[in-house]
A and B are shown apart, each in its own frame.
Chain A
Amino acid sequence: MIAEAGLAALWLAAALAVLQLMLGVLGLTGGRDALLPAIRPVAVVQGVLTALSFALLIWLFLDSDMSVKLVAANSHSAKPWLYKFAGTWGNHEGSMLLWVTILGMAGAAVAILERRVAERTLAATLAAQAFIGIGFFAFLLFSSNPFERLIPAAADGQGLNPLLQDPGLAFHPPTLYIGYVGMSVAFSFAVGALVMRDVGADFARAMRPWVLISWIFLTLGITAGSYWAYYELGWGGWWFWDPVENASLMPWLAATALLHSVTVLATRDGLRAWTVMLAVIAFSMSMIGTFLVRSGILTSVHAFAVDPERGSFILALLAIYIGGAMALFAIRISTVKEGSQFEAVSREGALVANNLLLSAILGIVFVGTLYPLGVEAVTGEKLSVGPPYFNSAAGPLALLLVVVMAMGPVMRWRRDRLKPVVQRLALPVLLTAVALLAVVLLAPGIGILPFLGIVLAIGVGAASVAPLWKRNLRRTPLFTYGMVIAHLGIAVALAGMACESAFNKETLVAARIGDTARVGPFSVKLKDITPIAGPNWTALEATLEVTRGSGTPFILKPQARMFSNPPTETTEAALKVQLDGQLYLVLGQADDQGRWQLRLWWKPFVTFIWAGGIMVALGGFLALIGRLRREAKTWRREAIA
C-alpha cells in the first residue's frame, strides 16, 4: 500500500508541475494575469507531494519491505538502521527521487519566501522551475520507478555496497544534491529575468541567496566527499581527479564565479549579461554532473547501474535544458542593457579576473573530464586523464587566482590605483617574502607547486584578514566577516594541500607480530592481530602501538573487513589526528610466512584541507545571514517610511 501511495504522490506532483508550467505560460501571454496568483500555491503543494513520496520510500527502506524491487535489490534486513535510512538514496532510483524532492521543495520555498521580484518575473521563474521538474518526473516515472513491486517478494535483500555503509552516506549525497538543485533555482531566476526583460540589481539580490545556499552545500558536499574517500578507500589520497569528483567540482567552480559576479550586479549593477550567462553555465554544469554520475557511463562506486536506456534519457534531458537555456540566452541577451562602467583596476576588475580564472580552470577540468568520453565515442579508443594533467594545467591558474583573491577585497569599487592597493597589503607582502625565504632555507628541494602553495597560503592568509584592518570590528557587517572567513579558509586549505604533497611520509612493510616500523616521527609496533565481528561484517583487527619520539604510546586499530551481503572486503584505516598532521595506518594481507602488510602514512597538516573547506562553507553561511539581515532591515525602514 505504501509503495502505491508513494507512486501516486509522485504522479500527482508531476501533474502539478505540468499545471505550474501551463499556468505560467498561459498567465504571461495574452493578458491572462488572473491566472498568476494560482502559481504559488501549486508550487507549494507540488513540493509537499514530492517530500511525501520520498518520506514513503524512506519508510519502505526502514521497514525492509522486500516486496519492493528497489529495497530488495539494495537493502538487507540485518543492516544497521542508519544504512537502511541512508540506503534510500544509495541507489539510482532513490537518489533521483531525492533530486526531484529537493527540486520540488526548493520551488515551494521560492513560492513562499520570494517577495523581491515582480509577480510576473516570479511566475516565469516558477514556470522554468516546473519545466526542469517535468523532465525529471518523466525520467523517474518512465524509466526509474523507485516504487516498483517485486512479485513474488524476495526472502531478503541483496544488501548495500559496503563502501557505502558509512555515516558519510547520510550526509554527502543530500548536501551535493541541495547544491546541484540550488543552481537550478538560480537558473530559473535567470530565465525569469530574461523572459521578463528584468535583468538588474533586484534580480541579482533575489538570486544571490540561492546561489549562496547552493554554493555552501556544494562546498560542504565536496569537502565531505573528499574526506570520505580519504578514509574509506585506504589509499591515503584526498582528491583523485576522478570524473565523479570533477562532476561536483565543475558546478562549484561555476557557482564560485557566479557568486562573485552576482555581487557586482547586486552592488554596482554591472556585469549583467555575464552574470546571466554564468547562471546558465552553473546550471549546465550541475546537469552534466548529474549526467556523468547517474548515467552509468563512468566506472565508479557512484555508477549504480549500467543501463543504456537511462543514460540516453538523461542525455536527452541534458540536451533539452542546456540547449534551451543557451538558445534563450542567445535570443534575449541583446535586450539586456549594458550595466554600469568601471576601470580595469578596481574591485570589479579583480572580480572579473576572478571570474575569468575560475572559468579557465572550469574549462580545463571540463576538457580533461569529457575528453576520454569523446575520444571513446569517436574512435573507440579507451584512455584516461589523471592527476598529472589536472595538476599541471589547473594548478598554476589556481595559484594565480588566490593572488587575485588576496587583492580584490582591499580594492575600491569603480576605480582604484595599484600603488595604494600594494600599500594596503604591505604586511601580507612582507610575510610572503619571509615565508619564501623560510621555505627555501628549511625545506629545500620540494616541488614548485607545493612550494608556491605554502608561500602563497601564508601571504594570502594574512591578506584575507586585511579588509578588517583599521575597521570598527563591531560595526563591520556580518557578510564582510563571511568573506574574510571564506577567503581565510581557502588559504588554510591551500596550506594543507601544499604541505601534504610536500612533506607526506609513507612506509610499506611486511611485519611479524612484535616487529616495529618507522614513519616520519613515529614508531609503530605490531602487537597483535585478532578476529572481531560487527553487525553485518567480520574483520581482522591489528593492534598497533604507536610512539612519537619519547612520548606516551597509544594504540591504533586498523581493520580489514569482510561483509557477507554482498560478499565484499573493505579496508578500515586507523587515523590519529595530531596538531601538526594526521597518522594514517592501513592493514593489508598476510603472506605465507606469517607476515602482515602494513601501510603507514604521516601526513603533515592534511586536516587543514577539510578544516579550510568547512571554513569556506561557514564564511558562505555568515554572508548569507548577513545579507538576509541587511535586507530585512531595509524593508523595515521602507515599511516605516
Chain B
Amino acid sequence: MIAKAKHQRLVLILVAVAAMIGATLLAMSALSQQAAYFYAPDDIRRDKPEIGKAIRLGGMVQKGSIKRAADGVTIGFVVTDGLATTPVRFRGITPDLFKEDSGVVAEGRLDASGTFVADNLLAKHDERYMPPQMAGKMHKTETLEK
C-alpha cells in the first residue's frame, strides 16, 4: 500500500524515476548486444568484425560480379568501396534497384570463410533520392538547377 496522504506525489515521482532508470538500463544493455555497425569493405579488411555478429555492409556492387547459383534464387556478388572488396551471398529476390555499379546496403553477418551472408539487401529508393550513407561514393544527383 502507498503511504498515506501528502507523500503520495513523492512516491509516484520515485516510482516514475525508478521505472525510467530501469527502462534506460534495459535499453542500454540490449543496445550493446544488438546494435549493428555499418562497415565498408575496407573497414572489414582492417578491423574484422566478429563472425556471426549482425552488421551492415555498404558500398558499390562491383561490375560483372553478380553470379546466379543453379537453384535460381541464390546470388553472389562483390561489394567494393574502391579500396577493398567483400564477397556477398544472398538468397531471395533482389530489390528493384539492385544492379551492378550501383550502391547497396546489405544486412547480415560474416561467415567463417569471410563471405558476407546477407538476410536483406537495401538499394537506394529511386534515381533521385540518395541515402546519406552512400553520399560521395556515388555519382551526383541530378537537380533542377543543373
A residues with a Cβ closer than 8 A to B are 69, 72-73, 150, 154, 158, 161-163, 234, 273-274, 296-297, 299-301, 303-304, 306, 338, 341-345, 352, 356-357, 359-361, 363-364, 367-368, 371-372, 381-386, 388-389, 392-393, 397, 508-510, 560, 566-571, 586, 588-589, 591-593, 595, 597, 599
Say yes or no: is B65 at the interface (Cβ < 8 Å to chain A): no
Q: How far is the CA of A303 from the CA of B129 in the complex (A)?
A: 8
| B94 interfacial contact with A, CB 8 Å | yes
Q: How far is the CA of A571 from the CA of B131 in the complex (A)?
A: 20
| B115 beta carbon closer than 8 Å to chain A | no
Choose from A306, A357, A588 the contact partner of B94 (Cβ within 8 Å): A588
* CB-nearest residue of chain A to B39: A382
Contact present for A388 and B34 (CB under 8 Å):
yes
Query: How far, in whole Å, are A570 and B95 apart by their CA atoms in the complex?
Result: 9
Let me know if B2 and A510 touch, CB within 8 A: no
Are A73's CB and B38's CB within 8 A?
no
Q: Among B2, B31, B133, point to the contact of A389 (Cβ < 8 A).
A: B31
Chain B residues in 8 Å Cβ range of A567? 127
Q: Are B27 and A161 in contact (CB under 8 A)?
A: no
Q: Are B93 and A589 in contact (CB under 8 A)?
A: yes
Q: What residues of A have a CB within 8 angstroms of the CB of B8 in the complex?
A: 338, 341-342
Contact of B93 with A360 in the complex, beta carbons under 8 Å: no
- B132 lies within 8 A of A568 (CB): no
The B59-82 residues at the A interface (CB cut-off 8 A) are 68, 71-73
Alpha-carbon gap, A300 to B65, bound state (A): 27
Q: What's the nearest-Cβ distance from chain B to residue A71, in Å?
A: 11
Cα distance A384–B107 in the bound complex, in angstroms = 10
* A383→B144 contact, CB < 8 A: no
User: Is B107 touching A364 in the complex (CB atoms < 8 A)?
Assistant: no
A382, A570, A588: the one contacting B37 at CB < 8 Å is A382
The digit string for B1-18, where 1 denotes a CB below 8 A from any CB of A, is 110111011001001100
Contact A384 B19 (CB under 8 A): no
Q: Which residues of B are found within 8 Å of A566, using beta-carbon distances? A: 126-128
* Closest B residue by C-beta to A561: B96
Contact of A381 among B19, B37, B96, B128 (CB under 8 A): B37
Residues from chain B with a CB closer than 8 A to the CB of A385 are 31, 34-36
Q: Give the chain A neighbours of B91 by CB distance below 8 A.
A: 508
Q: In the complex, what residue of chain B is closest to A590 when comparing beta carbons?
A: B72
Chain B residues with CB below 8 A from A397, complex form:
23
Cα distance, A592 to B28, chains bound together (Å): 48
A382 to B133, Cβ gap below 8 A?
Answer: yes
Q: Shortest 4 CB-CB distances between A and B: which pairs?
A: A510-B72, A382-B38, A588-B93, A360-B23
CB-defined contacts of A297 to chain B, threshold 8 Å:
132
Q: How far is the CA of A477 from the CA of B8 in the complex (A)?
A: 32
Candidates A72, A73, A299, A360; contact of B132 at CB < 8 Å: A299
Q: Which residue of B lies closest to A563 (CB)?
A: B126
| Residues of chain B contacted by A161 (CB below 8 angstroms) | 125-126, 128-129
Contact at A372–B35, with CB atoms within 8 Å?
yes
In contact, B144 and A69 (Cβ under 8 angstroms): yes
Distance to closest chain B CB from A299 (angstroms): 4
Q: Does B88 lie at the interface of the complex (its beta carbon under 8 Å from any beta carbon of A)?
A: no
Chain A hits for B54, CB < 8 A = 386, 388
Question: Known: A161-B129, A367-B27, A388-B34. Is A509-B2 also a contact (CB below 8 A)?
Answer: no
Answer yes or no: B83 CB below 8 A from chain A CBs.
no
B30 within 8 A of A: yes
19 A-B contacts (beta carbon < 8 Å) = A73-B144, A154-B144, A274-B12, A299-B133, A306-B135, A338-B6, A344-B1, A359-B20, A359-B23, A367-B24, A368-B27, A368-B31, A371-B31, A383-B36, A389-B31, A389-B34, A393-B26, A569-B96, A571-B96
Digit string of B84-102 for contact with A (CB within 8 Å is 1, else 0)?
A: 0000000111101100000
Inter-chain contact count A-B, CB under 8 Å? 151
Q: Is B27 in contact with A363, judged by CB distance below 8 angstroms?
A: yes
Kindly state the separation between the CA atoms of A571 and B28 in the bound complex, as whole angstroms. Answer: 37
A570 touches B96 (CB 8 A): yes
- Are A352 and B12 within 8 A (Cβ)? yes
Per the bound structure, the CA–CA distance linking A162 and B127 in Å amounts to 11
A560 to B98, CA, bound (A): 14
Contact (Cβ within 8 A) B126 A72 = no
Q: How far is the CB of B79 from chain A (nearest CB, A)?
A: 15
Chain B residues positioned under 8 Å from A371 (CB to CB): 31, 35
Chain A residue, CB-CB nearest to B56: A384
Q: What residue of chain B has the Cβ atom nearest to residue A72's Cβ?
A: B144
Q: Which residues of B contact A163 (CB under 8 A)?
A: 125-126
A384 near B38 with CB under 8 A, answer yes
B73: which of A343, A509, A592 is its contact (CB, 8 Å)? Answer: A509
For A367, list chain B residues within 8 Å (CB).
24, 27-28, 31
- List the B residue with the shortest CB-CB distance to A235: B120
Q: Does B130 contact A (CB under 8 A)?
A: yes
Taking CB atoms, residues of chain A closer than 8 Å to B52 are none
CB distance from B103 to the nearest CB of A (A): 11
B22 within 8 A of A: yes
How far is it, in angstroms, between the C-alpha of A288 and the C-alpha of B144 when the chains are bound?
A: 30
CA distance A88 to B94 in the complex (A): 31
For the A-B complex with A510-B72, A591-B72 known, give 10 more contacts whose Cβ atoms are closer than 8 Å: A158-B144, A161-B128, A274-B16, A306-B132, A368-B31, A382-B133, A389-B35, A566-B127, A589-B93, A595-B72
CA of A264 to CA of B23, assembled, Å: 24
Q: A338-B8, A386-B107 are in contact. Are A591 and B68 (CB under 8 A)?
A: yes
Q: List A contacts of B135 (CB < 8 A).
A: 306
| A593, B16: Cβ atoms closer than 8 Å | no
Q: In the complex, which of the residues A306, A352, A363, A382 contacts B20, with contact meaning CB atoms closer than 8 Å? A: A363
B114 CB, nearest partner CB in chain A, Å = 21
Separation of A359 and B2 alpha carbons in the complex (Å): 21
Asked if B20 and A360 sit within 8 Å, CB to CB, the answer is yes
Per the bound structure, the CA–CA distance linking A304 and B27 in Å amounts to 30
